[in-house]
Structure 1
Amino acid sequence: AGYNHDADTKAGILSACGIEAGPDDAVNLNNLDDWQEFYNAEIAS
């Protein structure tokens, strides 16, 4: 079994990424968060 983020952390990451539903596990949520930060810093700016 892997580590899952709590509901508030999950909701915050998904909201920042502009999606309503997504994975529960921390690895995939952290990946989404990292890619969103990269997009904001390197592509959207």
Structure 2
Amino acid sequence: MINFDEEVAKFVPSLEVEQAEDVINNNDLSDITDIIKTMMKDLKDK
């Protein structure tokens, strides 16, 4: 039978997941709201 606590204690997340998490959290990505705000500002300035 599998000892759940023992398996959880041995768990090590893969480096790829950690690297992807860092990239996602550290990027300042524009969402649709940011894009619309920029477009509205540009139109207003004209």
TM class, shorter-chain normalised?
0.3 to 0.5
Say which structure, 1 or 2, has more relative contact order (CA 8 Å, 6+ apart).
1
TM-score computed with the length of structure 1 as normaliser: 0.34
Higher-helix-fraction structure: 2
Larger-gyration structure (1/2): 2
TM-score computed with the length of structure 2 as normaliser: 0.33
